[in-house]
Amino acid sequence: MIHGPQQGPLDDDAVLAAYPWPDEGPWVRAMMVTTLDGASAGPDGLSGSISSDSDKAVFDAVRRHADAVLVGAGTIRAEGYGAMKAKDRDAAARSAQGQAPAPVIAIVSPSLDLPFDSELFTDSTEPPIVLTTARPDADALARAREARATVVHSPGDDVPPDFVVDTLVERGLRRIVCEGGPRLLEAVTRAGLLDEADITVSPLLAGLGHASRTDGLDEVVGFDLVHVLTADGFLMCRYVRDAG
Ligand SMILES: NC(=O)c1ccc[n+]([C@@H]2O[C@H](COP(=O)([O-])OP(=O)(O)OC[C@H]3O[C@@H](n4cnc5c(N)ncnc54)[C@H](OP(=O)(O)O)[C@@H]3O)[C@@H](O)[C@H]2O)c1
């Protein structure tokens, strides 16, 4: 850690402790990696090619005590997420906090164009939650209903971020890590729901050829810097929402 409360080398437990969740209330944190030129994916269209072992260590630490991993359907289609499985090392701590053995994946997908045969759906410890519109495409809905998933419908033609967060919190899933992609993160931010941004700056330029097309925000949203970790030229920055 080069900036923050525990400056010096950190072991795995100290990295975990550097990314605490509040004891009460909903908390939505973003976990994303960006290049120096603002790309969220490398030339292969994936975030792994702009990440590192140290970034992945923080990513894993943030997930360890999360209730829900929130992602947009575009990220699921691009990244091919593996199963979200319970890990022995976390079982006792999660149980003591009244948490399920593993985080549940929550996917925002109006189209329901999702890989329902993938191990994310078939092998995750907790059945994935898919949040979609009131009346999605009938064939896609039939596929979703056959899959090992909990399908939740918003009341209208879109899936507003506040509906998403309320749905998760009503299910006791109040520690929410939003892993993107940029379109979902922008919507969550626009709705004023983001409490924390855990952003890794990767020492790479990748160009913006794979940049997601988004509408942009009407105004900037400010954050306070809590800490900066560094390894191999990567900066792992933790920011919390600027109350002012
Ligand atoms: N650098 C990083 O840390 C990081 C993290 C995640 C992803 N990525 C990269 O980002 C790219 C994908 O990101 P993306 O921005 O294109 O996609 P995304 O935000 O992951 O997903 C977009 C899709 O999610 C649904 N969605 C998102 N926001 C919505 C909203 N407000 N209301 C309703 N539905 C919403 C829609 O699903 P339907 O299509 O089903 O209608 C939409 O097409 C990939 O290249 C991935 O590798 C990078």
What pLDDT does residue 126 have?
Answer: 96
For residues 138-156, b (16+ Cβ closer than 10 Å) or e, as one string?
Answer: eebbeebeebebbbbbbee
Report the C-alpha gap between 140 and 70 in whole angstroms: 21
For residue 93, which amino acid is it? A
**Mean pLDDT score of the chain:** 96
Return the residue whose CA atom lies nearest to atom 14 of ligand 1.
181
**H helix or E strand, kind and range, residue 230:** strand 223-231
Nearest atom in ligand 1 to 188's CA = 31
Give the mean model confidence (pLDDT) for residues 67-72. Answer: 98
What distance in angstroms lies between residue 7's CA and the mean position of ligand 1's atoms? 35
The CA 96 to ligand 1 mean position distance, Å, reads 33
Q: pLDDT tens across 85-109, in order?
A: 989 999 899 999 999 999 999 999 9
Residue 38 zone, left/alpha/beta (φ > 0; ψ -120 to 50; rest) = left
* Cα 183 to ligand 1 centre (Å): 5
Task: Sketch the domain layout of the chain as residue ranges.
Answer: 24-207+215-241
Span 16-26, pLDDT tens digits: 999 999 999 99
Report which ligand 1 atom has the smallest distance to the Cα of 39: 1
pLDDT of residue 210: 82
Q: CB 114: neighbour CB atoms within 10 A? A: 22
Compute, in angstroms, the gap from residue 88 CA to the centroid of ligand 1. 31
Q: Do 69 and 84 touch, CB atoms closer than 8 A?
A: yes
Q: Which CATH code fits 24-207+215-241?
A: 3.40.430.10
Classify residue 3 by its DSSP letter: B
Q: Which residues line ligand 1 (CB under 6 A)?
A: 32-33, 40-41, 45-47, 71-75, 78-79, 108-111, 113, 158-159, 161, 179-184, 187, 210, 212
Report how far Cα 6 is from the mean position of its chain's Cα atoms: 25
- Tell which one of 75, 163, 215 to mutate to probe ligand 1, the residue whose CB is within 8 A of the most ligand atoms: 75
pLDDT in tens, 105-144: 999 999 999 999 999 999 999 999 999 999 999 999 999 9
Ligand 1 atom nearest to 71, measured from its CA: 20
- Ligand 1 centre to CA of 56 (Å) is 20
Confidence band of 244 (pLDDT split at 50, 70, 90):
low
User: Is the pLDDT at 211 greater than 90, yes or no?
Assistant: no
